[in-house]
C-alpha cells in the first residue's frame, strides 16, 4: 500500500513572497514592507514590492497549477491586504483579489488550503506591540472572523499559523526575520502564548463558522533521524525531536509550540526551568489553545542525525565529508520524511500533512529555453519515496505540498534563491515551468506509483 487514493498532492506559496502589489489596491503596510526598506536586512536590499506580481498574474498562475495537476493549493492571506490597519475596515480590493483567486481555483478543480498567517503582519499592529500586546489574540480572532464571513462558504481547509518558530523564534532572537529584534526570554514566551491563544481562538471560530471544515497548523521545528537502525538510535532521534532545549535554541523546537495545542499543557520540565519567565496563564487559556485539529502539518527540509549516547542522551552526528547538499548548503536528508511523520504521528495521533518541502537550486534558463533542474527532481523523488515508505508502514499521511509552486521572494535571501517548480524571470515576469514541474505532474498523475 502506498499513498491513499485521495492523497492531497499540492504546492505552496505565501502572500508576501509572491503577490507584489505592495502599495496597490488599498493594501496596508506590512512588517515586511517596512523591514525590507531598512538597508542591510535583505540580500542586496531586495524587497517584495513586486515579487512574482501574482496580484496581476493570478489567472496565468492558476492555469499553470491546473497544468501541473495539483489537487490542492496552499496559499496565505495577506492580513494587511484584507485589513489595512489590522482591525476594523476591510479593503474591498483585497476581498476582490482573494475572491477571484478562490473562484479560479475552484473552477479549475483545485482545492484551496488557506493559511491565515504566513508572516506578513499589519504594521499598524506591530506599532501597537504586535504579539506582545495582550489584545493580539483578539486582533487575530477578528481577522479570522472576517475571513470566515468573506470566504467561509468556499474554503473548507485551513491552516492557522505558518512556522511560529520563525516569525517569533528567529524574528525576536535577532535573527533574519522581521522585525529582527532581540528581546528577553520572558517576552518571547509571552508572544508564544499569545500566538497559541490566537491559534485556539481561530480554531473555535472556524469550527463554529465553517461547518465541516478541516483545520491544521503549519509549524516547523528541528527534526532528527537515527544514525543507525538500532532501537537506541531510533529512540535518540525521537527524544531529540521532542526535547525542549531550554538552554539552547528552544524556540526552534517542536514541542513548545505543539504540546500545548495537542496535550493542553506546556512541556512540564521546560516550563519549570523557565520559572518566572513563564507568562501568566489564564484559567481558560489552555482549553482555548488545545482545540482539536484535523491534521498535523509540518514544514520540513532537512534533519539532523543522532546516536544514543552512553548517558542516555542523543548525540548529534556530523555529516560525513561530501554529504549531499542543496545549492544553499542545506543537507539533503530524505529519511527525515520517513522519521518525522512517523514520530509526529505517534506523538500527536493525527494524520500528517507535509505542508512544505523542497529545495533551492541554481536554476537558469538554458539555451534551449528550458529550465533543467535534475537536482530538484532527484531531491523530491528521494524525499517522496521516504514519505511513501512511512505511509506503507502505517503512518497516516494525508498530503504533500511542494515548496514552492514558483520561484519567489525568499525573505532575507531576497531573490537569490529559487525554490520553485516554475522559474520566474523577475524582470519580465515570464514563467517557465522547470523540468521538475513536468516530473511532479507525472508523479501526481500516477498517485506516486512512479516514484
Ligand atoms: C519555510 C517558510 O514557510 C517559507 O516561507 C520559506 O520560503 C521556505 N521555508 C524556504 O525557506
Active site residue 142: no
Closest residue CA from atom 6 of ligand 1: 410
Nearest CA to 436 out of 404, 413, 411, 390 is that of 404
Contact 354, 345 (CB under 8 A): no
Band (pLDDT 50/70/90 cuts) for residue 42 is very high
**Is ligand 1 within 6 A of the CB of residue 162?**
yes
**Is ligand 1 within 6 A of the CB of residue 299?**
yes
394 Cα–ligand 1 center, Å: 28
* Torsion sign over Cα 351, 65, 31, 77: negative
- What residues form DSSP beta bridges with 427? none
Band (pLDDT 50/70/90 cuts) for residue 390 is very high
Q: Tell me the pLDDT of the chain averaged across its residues.
A: 98
Query: What Rg, from alpha-carbon coordinates, does the chain have?
Result: 21
Q: What is the pLDDT of residues 63-77, one digit of tens each?
A: 999 999 999 999 999
230 Cα–ligand 1 center, Å: 33
Q: Which residues are CB-neighbours of 347 under 8 A, at least 6 positions away?
A: 242, 262
Atom in ligand 1 nearest the alpha carbon of residue 301 = 9
Closest residue CA from atom 5 of ligand 1: 14
252 Cα–ligand 1 center, Å: 14
SS3 at position 72 = strand
Residue 179's pLDDT is 97
274 Cα–ligand 1 center, Å: 29
**Is ligand 1 within 6 A of the CB of residue 120?**
no
Instruction: Kindly report the pTM of this predicted structure.
Output: 0.98
Active site residue 104: no
201 Cα–ligand 1 center, Å: 25
Band (pLDDT 50/70/90 cuts) for residue 444 is very high
Atom in ligand 1 nearest the alpha carbon of residue 410 = 7
Atom in ligand 1 nearest the alpha carbon of residue 411 = 7
Contact 289, 197 (CB under 8 A): yes
**Is ligand 1 within 6 A of the CB of residue 14?**
yes
Contact 91, 31 (CB under 8 A): no
Ligand 1 pocket: which of 168, 360, 410, 418 to mutate (most atoms within 8 A of CB) = 410
**Is ligand 1 within 6 A of the CB of residue 417?**
no
Atom in ligand 1 nearest the alpha carbon of residue 360 = 10
299 Cα–ligand 1 center, Å: 8
Q: What is the DSSP letter of 252?
A: G
User: For residues 128 and 323, what is the distance between their CA atoms, to the nearest angstrom?
Assistant: 46
* Catalytic site residue from 163, 335, 410, 417: 163
Q: What is the DSSP letter of 173?
A: B
* Torsion sign over Cα 423, 55, 84, 198: negative
Share of the chain above pLDDT 70, in %: 100
User: For residues 3 and 8, what is the distance between their CA atoms, to the nearest angstrom?
Assistant: 9
Statement: residue 380 has pLDDT above 70? yes
Closest residue CA from atom 7 of ligand 1: 410
| Mean pLDDT confidence for 105-125 | 98
* Catalytic site residue from 19, 104, 335, 356: 356
Share of the chain above pLDDT 90, in %: 100
Band (pLDDT 50/70/90 cuts) for residue 2 is confident
Ligand 1 pocket: which of 51, 78, 299 to mutate (most atoms within 8 A of CB) = 299
Ligand 1 pocket: which of 120, 403, 424 to mutate (most atoms within 8 A of CB) = 403
Statement: residue 1 has pLDDT above 90? no
SS3 at position 297 = strand
Q: What is the pLDDT of residues 299-342, one digit of tens each?
A: 999 999 999 999 999 999 999 999 999 999 999 999 999 999 99
Amino acid at each position: 500500500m502506498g499513498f491513499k487514493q485521495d492523497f492531497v498532492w499540492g504546492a505552496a506559496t505565501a502572500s508576501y513572497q509572491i503577490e507584489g502589489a505592495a502599495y496597490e489596491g488599498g493594501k496596508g503596510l506590512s512588517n515586511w514592507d517596512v523591514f525590507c526598506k531598512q538597508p542591510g536586512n535583505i540580500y542586496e536590499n531586495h524587497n517584495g514590492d513586486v515579487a512574482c506580481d501574482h496580484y496581476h498574474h493570478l489567472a496565468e498562475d492558476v492555469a499553470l497549477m491546473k497544468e501541473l495537476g495539483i489537487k490542492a493549493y496552499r496559499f496565505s492571506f495577506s492580513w494587511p491586504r484584507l485589513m489595512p490597519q489590522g482591525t476594523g475596515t476591510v479593503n474591498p480590493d483585497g476581498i476582490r483579489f482573494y475572491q477571484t483567486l478562490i473562484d479560479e481555483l475552484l473552477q479549475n478543480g483545485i482545492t484551496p488550503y488557506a493559511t491565515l498567517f504566513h508572516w506578513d503582519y499589519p504594521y499598524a499592529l506591530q506599532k501597537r506591540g504586535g504579539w506582545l500586546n495582550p489584545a493580539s489574540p483578539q486582533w487575530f480572532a477578528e481577522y479570522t472572523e472576517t475571513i470566515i464571513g468573506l470566504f467561509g462558504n468556499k474554503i473548507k481547509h485551513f491552516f492557522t499559523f505558518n512556522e511560529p518558530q520563525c516569525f517569533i523564534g528567529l524574528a525576536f532572537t535577532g535573527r533574519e526575520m522581521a522585525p529582527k529584534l532581540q528581546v528577553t526570554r520572558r517576552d518571547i514566551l509571552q508572544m508564544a502564548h499569545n500566538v497559541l491563544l490566537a491559534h485556539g481562538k481561530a480554531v473555535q471560530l472556524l469550527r463554529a463558522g465553517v461547518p465541516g471544515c478541516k483545520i491544521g497548523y503549519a509549524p516547523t521545528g528541528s527534526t532528527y533521524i537515527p544514525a543507525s537502525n538500532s532501537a537506541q538510535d531510533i529512540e535518540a532521534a525521537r527524544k531529540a525531536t521532542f526535547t525542549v532545549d531550554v538552554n539552547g535554541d528552544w524556540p526552534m523546537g517542536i514541542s513548545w509550540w505543539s504540546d500545548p495545542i495537542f496535550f493542553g499543557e506546556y512541556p512540564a520540565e521546560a516550563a519549570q526551568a523557565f520559572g518566572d519567565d513563564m507568562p501568566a496563564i489564564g484559567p481558560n487559556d489552555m482549553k482555548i489553545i488545545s482545540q482539536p485539529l484535523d491534521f498535523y502539518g509540518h514544514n520540513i527540509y532537512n534533519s539532523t542525525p543522532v546516536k544514543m549516547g552512553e548517558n542516555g542522551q542523543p548525540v548529534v552526528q556530523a555529516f560525513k565529508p561530501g554529504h549531499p547538499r542543496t545549492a544553499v548548503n542545506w543537507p539533503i536528508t530524505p529519511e527525515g520524511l520517513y522519521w518525522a511523520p512517523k514520530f509526529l504521528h505517534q506523538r500527536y495521533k493525527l494524520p500528517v500533512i507535509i505542508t512544505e518541502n523542497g529545495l533551492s537550486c541554481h536554476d537558469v534558463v538554458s539555451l534551449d529555453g528550458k529550465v533543467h533542474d535534475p537536482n530538484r527532481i532527484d531531491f523530491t523523488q528521494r524525499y517522496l519515496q521516504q514519505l511513501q515508505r512511512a505511509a506503507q508502514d502505517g503512518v497516516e499521511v494525508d498530503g504533500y505540498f511542494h515548496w514552492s509552486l514558483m520561484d519567489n521572494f525568499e525573505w532575507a535571501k531576497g531573490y537569490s534563491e529559487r525554490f520553485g517548480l516554475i522559474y520566474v524571470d523577475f524582470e519580465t515576469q515570464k514563467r517557465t515551468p522547470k523540468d521538475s514541474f513536468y516530473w511532479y505532474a507525472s508523479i501526481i498523475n500516477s498517485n506516486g506509483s512512479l516514484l
